[in-house]
Structures are given as structure tokens and as C-alpha cells.
Amino acid sequence: VSVDNVRRIILEQSKRANVGHIGCALSVADIVTSVYDFGLRERTGDANDRDRFVLSKGHAALALYACLHAKGRLSREQIDTYCADNTLLGVHPEHALEGVDFCTGSLGQGLSMAAGAALAARLQHSTRRVYALLSDAECNEGSVWEAAMFAAHFRLRRLMAVIDYNKLQSLTGTEQTIGLEPFEDKWRAFGWEVRRCDGHDHAALAATFGRPAGGDRPVVVICDTTKGKGVSFMENSVLWHYRAASEDELAQALRELDVR
Ligand SMILES: [Mg+2]
């Protein structure tokens, strides 16, 4: 999948729909496409061993739609209905849309869904794996740590939590809001295998997503990322959490993608 193409769709559709969350979607564009390219063993429909993906940070749904389009799973016509009336492509993912298994967007809940899906897989004697993509700020929620405890207790080694660690949340830095550090130590203390990765390095993402758990613990991949990645004036800026671009800003952003 061409990630620049995914970024282009994010920018164009955000502008057309006049909906924000651009910085969040650009932050995870490389991660989402890498989950699809290197992690998920994609099988069609309801195959029992089809891997699952939970976009816990549902407000980055546009990155998921753009990736599904790049994968040939959503048509251009469907993408062009993003946030229009009567569409299934809303600001947050909707499981009625083919290619989406879980409704998300209520922050801090996706890891619980993923842990349940991983436990269900075991009970069904399925080898399917479950990936959950969380924002860093979601780890402010107690429900994340409840799910973390649950997953470790049940030794859900086919569960992988991936964290978009861009160190920003809606209004300011994560350390200024409710500090997460020492972040790796917290996950380790909860019984998880911890990996660290550059969330924009596709080779590194491929290596970590493709590697199964070393033992019987669930795996968390803490991905260091840049919010707004790929567009200079959106990078590391909280402004682009909510804001949509003007015509001039969109044009400049697309020019930057062209010369990358
Ligand atoms: Mg963040």
C-alpha cells in the first residue's frame, strides 16, 4: 500500500467533509497500513481464522478508510461519502461497514473488545490474532489497564496492542495531562511483553507485527510517532487535532506530499 496515497486521501476527504482529526489520522497512517500489509492475515468474510483489527482510537477512522480503499476493500465512490448523510463512513468506525469488525470511538474501550475477541478465539480453538490500535492518551483511562490485567491473566498471546505514542493529546502534551512515563515499565508490570518501534519505519513495523509473542504473554508495541506526520506545518501541533484545513493549507499539504 502506498502510504503517501493514504495521506493524500486523509487530507482531501477531511477537507471535503470539513472534519478534523487530521493530525491523528496522519500519525497512524504508517501503522494502520503496516498492520494490514504485514500483520493481519487477511481472509475473507467470516473465516474462523481471519485476524481481527480494533481501531480503539476511533477518531482516526479516516486513516482506516483510506487504507481499506488502498487495499481495494472500499471503492472511491464509498470513500467520497465520508461523513455525508446516510453513509457508513462516519467520524468513527461502524461495524456495519464491511471491513470493520468493531464500533469504536468511546475512548479506552477498544482494548477490552480486543481482549474479549482474543479470548473468544481461544475458546473456539481458532489461531486468529487480534490487533488493537490505541492512542497514548487512551492510557489515561482506567479501562485500558483493566483490559491489560485481564489479557495478561488469561495469557492472551495472540493479542497485540499497538500504541500511537505521539506524546500529544487533544489540547496539550501527554506528560502535561496525566503522565504516562515510565510507560514501558507500566506495561511490563502488568505482565505484557513490551516492544518499542519507530511508528513511521515500515521495515521496523513489519518486523514487529510479523513476530509472534515470545512466550504466553500478550504483546504491546509502543510506536514512537509524530502527530500530523508528513505535512510540516501539521507535525507536532495540537492545532490539527480538531481543525480542518483551508483551501490554501490543503494545497500546500498536497504539494509537500508530491515532493516527498
Ligand atoms: Mg496522542
Instruction: Give me the residues near ligand 1 (ion), CB cutoff below 5 Å.
Output: 135-136, 166, 168-169
pLDDT at 187 over 90: yes
75 CA → ligand 1 middle, Å: 29
The answer on pLDDT for 46 being more than 80 is no
- The total number of residues written for the chain in this structure: 260
Mean confidence (pLDDT) of the chain? 95
Percent of the chain with pLDDT over 70: 99
pLDDT, tens digit, 9 for 90 and up, residues 203-247: 999 999 999 999 999 999 999 999 999 999 999 999 898 888 999
Q: What is the pLDDT of residues 155-179, one digit of tens each?
A: 999 999 999 999 999 899 999 999 9
pTM for the predicted model, two decimal places: 0.96
CA of 160 to the centre of ligand 1 (A): 19
- C-alpha 223 – ligand 1 centre gap (Å): 11
Query: What is the DSSP secondary-structure string of 15-26?
Result: HHHT---HHHHH
- pLDDT above 80: residue 118: yes
Between the CA of 209 and the centroid of ligand 1 the distance, in Å, is 21
SS3 state of residue 109: coil
Residue 44: is its pLDDT beyond 80? no
Cα(56)–Cα(162) distance, rounded to whole angstroms? Answer: 10
CA–centroid distance, residue 39 to ligand 1 (Å) = 22
Assess whether pLDDT exceeds 90 at residue 5.
yes
Residue 242's pLDDT is 86
Assess contact for 162 and 223: CB atoms under 8 A: yes
- The percentage of the chain sitting over the pLDDT mark of 90, rounded to a whole number, equals 90
Please give the full DSSP string across 132-199, using - where no structure is assigned: EEEESGGGGSHHHHHHHHHHHHTT-TTEEEEEEE-SB-SSSBHHHHS---SHHHHHHHTT-EEEEEET
How close is the Cα of 210 to the center of ligand 1, in Å? 24
Question: How far is the centre of ligand 1, averaged over its atoms, from the C-alpha of 222 (Å)?
Answer: 12
Sequence-separated (6 or more) residues with CB below 8 Å from residue 118? 129, 130, 151, 156, 158, 159, 218
**Average pLDDT for residues 133-138, to the nearest whole number?**
98
